[in-house]
Amino acid sequence: MEAMLKILPPLTTIVAAIIAWLASRNVQRQSRINEKLNREHQKHISELNHVFKIASIQAQERFSLRAKALIEASRLAGETCYYLERFLTPYTTYQPMSRSALIEKAEESFELLLKFRWENNIFLWENDAASRAFGEIMGAINRIKNKEPGDGSFSEEQALDFMGVVQPAMKTIRDEYKKELMISEPER
């Protein structure tokens, strides 16, 4: 037993050293595994960030092109309505124009709007709300031309009828623009 007591402390030290060596080896192996997982995780995060950046750039480009198309369409529709309103109710004599010149300018602006819609059909064609708004403005032009009184004067009721048609049409175009802003704005 005495021999065993003499062997036990060095044996315990050897066993402890072997356990410490195994534990160290396991810690190093786990450390390498963690480093590998961290590298893979960083790689995936980097790839996702790249994909998100591309998607963001595409959304920005899509927004700017569609928004620009809606802005220009709104400008042309506004120009059309301006001439129609002047045709119906002249407010000043600052730039006197004959009634035929005013309706001709309104029709010319509207033709430019339709041409612009065709040229930018990628952004304006499938948009049913904007298309209906353009149709409403065209209908207002045709109603004005078909109902023009012989003496060339329109009643307040006819002017209000026109405004009742074109104001909602213009609001629809504005709403489409606002929708586009909401689609392309990142959520906060």
Euclidean distance between CA atoms 110 and 104, whole angstroms? 10
Most confident of the ranges 13-27, 53-67, 77-91: 13-27
Given its phi and psi angles, is residue 96 left (phi above 0), alpha (psi -120 to 50 degrees) or beta? beta
Longest alpha-carbon distance in the chain: 135
Euclidean distance between CA atoms 69 and 126, whole angstroms? 13
Q: What is the mean pLDDT of residues 68-92?
A: 84
**Tokens coding 114:** 């339709």
Q: Where does the chain show beta strands of DSSP type E?
A: none
| Predicted TM-score (pTM) of this structure | 0.58
